[in-house]
């Protein structure tokens, strides 16, 4: 009996696997595509641009500093694969004024055509205790990280919806998945990006526009170095016993990331500070709150190239997957289902499963056909089109809830 149930379950899962390629989003073709990268002059943004360029895309870099933009352009152009590719650089502050950002996007579209993929990589980070952070920090971080992602997205979204193709990538952070000591301002802005992305995806999915949110861990970039220089209070007020601080196994992390034990580096820098000299080339911050420093030391610092590779892969690949972090922290993952407009329930079935349907309905999983059909019919019938067949039986109702609840985020069960 149990074996029979297990066999059914396995067969069902296999069936889903086989059916899924038929209903998944078509991958975005990068050769010839126009990719706009904000914050593309350094760090993860630059590596994403390089990654896309290597696959034949036309790049527009958007950042504030013109010198850094030109340097980045030279670096990116080394990776060209044909003569037609272009790297365009436009200097603007994406968080200041929406009309400026809109103009920049218009300019880019006049030169390189409509935007196929937008990567919102402009951001900054500051850490410190809640009561020690300047009040302006909260405003500034939210402005750069959140509004600096809203404005470009808003500028491209109408064209993407008209053309029925597009990818929007938001770069959040692992601090956008859980709140960390010392990152009250930063975590809030990264959580906000996530909320924006979830709501936006629900709006644009019927138009074949897919949203990707990346959750990179600490990545070895100039931005990270800036974060580490954050001037904060809370001087070291404890005696560091350097012999007891070595936990190399804490740095198991992922194979993708640095092998050098971060905690040993930390110990090295801590002992240096107690010696009075501060070495700013150390990756681990010395003047952050101790707790934040210790948390940073438990994870390894990643290379931006690996982060970028993963982000680009997830943005274009067939599932339109909605998460990734290069360190492989799958437990924090958040994945999006493919379209579920597979089957249709009649009204009686709809009434039977209304409670569960209530939740599913909020996903707004509408494929383009459903959009057409629902526009022609009354609102009540709209619900008939969007629910998969396995809701038809009450037995699977509770099983479905169990499976769903085991995914770490609402509404995002993965078929593969």
Write down the least CB distance from residue 69 to a second copy, Å. 25
151, 186, 210, 215: the catalytic one is 186
Active site residue 186: yes
The whole-angstrom separation of Cα 190 and Cα 177 is 8
Determine, following the binding rule CB under 8 A, whether residue 103 of this chain makes contact with a second copy.
Answer: no
Instruction: Return the residue of 4, 110, 158, 244 that touches a second copy, per CB under 8 A.
Output: 158
Determine, following the binding rule CB under 8 A, whether residue 151 of this chain makes contact with a second copy.
Answer: yes
Write down the least CB distance from residue 354 to a second copy, Å. 5
Active site residue 172: yes
Letters for 13-52 (x = contact with a second copy by CB under 8 A, - = none) are: ----------------------------------------
149, 172, 189, 296: the catalytic one is 172
Tell me if 118 sits within 8 A of 221, measured CB to CB.
Answer: no
- Give, as ranges, the residues between 297 and 316 that touch a second copy (CB under 8 A): none
Write down the least CB distance from residue 352 to a second copy, Å. 9
- Give, as ranges, the residues between 162 and 181 that touch a second copy (CB under 8 A): 175-181
Applying CB under 8 A, the span of 40-48, 196-204, 222-230, 335-343 interacting with a second copy comes to: 196-204
Letters for 73-102 (x = contact with a second copy by CB under 8 A, - = none) are: -------------------------x----
Write down the least CB distance from residue 82 to a second copy, Å. 34
Write down the least CB distance from residue 147 to a second copy, Å. 6
- Give, as ranges, the residues between 350 and 409 that touch a second copy (CB under 8 A): 351, 354-355, 357-359, 361-362, 364, 375-382, 402, 404-409
Question: 50 or 156: whose CB is closer to a second copy?
Answer: 156
- Give, as ranges, the residues between 228 and 287 that touch a second copy (CB under 8 A): none
46, 68, 73, 190: the catalytic one is 190
Question: 68 or 190: whose CB is closer to a second copy?
Answer: 190
Write down the least CB distance from residue 306 to a second copy, Å. 23
Catalytic residues: 172, 186, 190
């Amino acid at each position: 009996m149990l074996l029979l149930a297990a066999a059914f379950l396995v067969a069902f899962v296999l069936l889903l696997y086989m059916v899924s390629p038929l209903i998944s989003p078509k991958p975005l073709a990068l050769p010839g595509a126009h990719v706009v990268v904000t914050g593309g002059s350094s760090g993860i943004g630059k590596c994403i641009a390089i990654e896309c360029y290597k696959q034949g895309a036309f790049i527009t870099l958007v950042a504030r500093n013109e010198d850094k933009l030109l340097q980045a352009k030279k670096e990116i152009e080394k990776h060209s694969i044909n003569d037609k590719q272009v790297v365009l650089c436009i200097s603007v502050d994406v968080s200041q004024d929406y009309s400026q950002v809109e103009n920049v996007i218009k300019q880019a579209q006049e030169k390189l055509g409509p935007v196929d993929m937008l990567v919102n990589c402009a951001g900054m980070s500051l850490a410190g205790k809640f009561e020690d952070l300047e009040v302006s920090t909260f405003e500034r971080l939210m402005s750069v990280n959140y509004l600096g992602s809203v404005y470009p997205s808003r500028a491209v979204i109408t064209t993407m919806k008209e053309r029925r193709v597009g990818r929007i990538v938001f770069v959040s952070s692992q601090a956008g998945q859980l709140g960390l000591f010392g990152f009250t301002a930063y975590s809030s802005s990264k959580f906000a990006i996530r909320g924006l992305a979830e709501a936006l995806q629900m709006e644009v999915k019927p138009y074949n526009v897919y949203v990707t949110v990346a959750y990179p861990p600490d990545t070895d970039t100039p931005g990270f170095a800036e974060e580490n220089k954050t001037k904060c209070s809370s001087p070291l007020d404890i005696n560091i016993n350097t012999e007891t601080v070595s936990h190399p196994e804490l740095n198991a992390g992922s194979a993708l990331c640095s092998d050098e034990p971060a905690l040993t580096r930390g110990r090295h820098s801590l002992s240096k500070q107690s010696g009075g000299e501060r070495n700013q080339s150390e990756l681990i911050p010395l003047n952050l709150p101790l707790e934040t420093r210790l948390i940073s030391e438990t994870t390894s610092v990643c290379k931006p190239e690996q982060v970028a590779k993963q982000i680009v892969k997830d943005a274009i690949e067939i599932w339109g997957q909605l998460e990734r972090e290069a360190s492989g922290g799958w437990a924090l993952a958040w994945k999006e289902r493919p379209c579920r407009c597979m089957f249709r329930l009649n009204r009686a079935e709809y009434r039977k499963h209304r409670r569960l349907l209530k939740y599913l309905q909020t996903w707004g999983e509408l494929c383009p056909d459903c959009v057409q059909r629902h526009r022609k019919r009354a609102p009540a019938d709209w619900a008939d089109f969007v629910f998969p067949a396995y809701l038809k039986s009450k037995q699977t109702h509770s099983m479905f809830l169990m499976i769903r609840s085991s995914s770490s985020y609402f509404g995002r069960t993965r078929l593969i």
